[in-house]
Structure 1
Amino acid sequence: MDLVGFGYAALVTFGSIWGYKRRGGVPSLIAGLSIGLLAGYGAYRVSNDRRDVKVSLFTAFFLATIMGVRFKRSKKIMPAGLVAGLRIF
């Protein structure tokens, strides 16, 4: 079972809900939940076949790119820098 992948998916999903409660951004909530679901699906696929990492890699790369751009623009560690840095794991 890919516990790291499921943990990453849960963290992204929780972060999108938390961000929505703090700021009220519906597009960010929808995007965060979508990425969280994709990450969970990728973790599920990796749990069934260790070599099936395409969805997980795409999701991590996409989220790291988006958050990396946001971090570069805002220079704030939370949440953009944190999420971009989580891609390493």
Structure 2
Amino acid sequence: MAVDWIGFGYAALVTSGGLIGYAKAVTSGTLTAVMGTRFYNSGKFMPAGLIAGVSLLMVGRLALKMLEKPHEK
């Protein structure tokens, strides 16, 4: 029986895409918490408040993308 190298390549590509998407979501959430805490403690908007706000927007965007229904073609 021959090894299906094309199938393995496809599976690796799909898996890596999923892992990258998962890592982006975790990173955005962590960055929001860390920088939000720094902003809260210092009261200074730059850079902690800015990064916390932008990261929070990214978390919201990723959450909306997850809830979005697939588009029919």
- The TM-score with structure 2 as length reference comes to 0.50
Q: Which has the higher contact order (CA 8 A, sep 6+)?
A: 2
| Bigger radius of gyration among the two | 2
